[in-house]
Amino acid sequence: MSVRSSKGTISRAVRDLNVEWEECKTQWNDIKSKDFQETYISPIPDTLSSCSNIIDELDKILNKIRKDCE
């Protein structure tokens, strides 16, 4: 699995999680669900953005290493 495909896999997983979370909220709508969202769901976009930037940097580094080893 390449670094770029890992980025796509993570993005799809987050998108799927958001869909499932929205569906879950239709049945689970109390203070605990709001706490869960604040604690676990809401931070995901910022974390994903950071991971995406790191993955891009790793991809650049690995491509440079490959090129240097040729």
Q: For 14-64, what is each residue's pLDDT tens digit? A: 999 999 999 999 999 999 999 999 999 999 999 999 999 999 999 999 999
Extract the tokens encoding 19. 């869909």
pTM score, whole prediction: 0.75
Nearest-angstrom CA–CA distance, 5 and 51: 13
pLDDT score for 27:
96
Structure confidence at residue 5 (pLDDT)? 84
Q: Give the pLDDT confidence score for residue 1 in this predicted structure.
A: 58
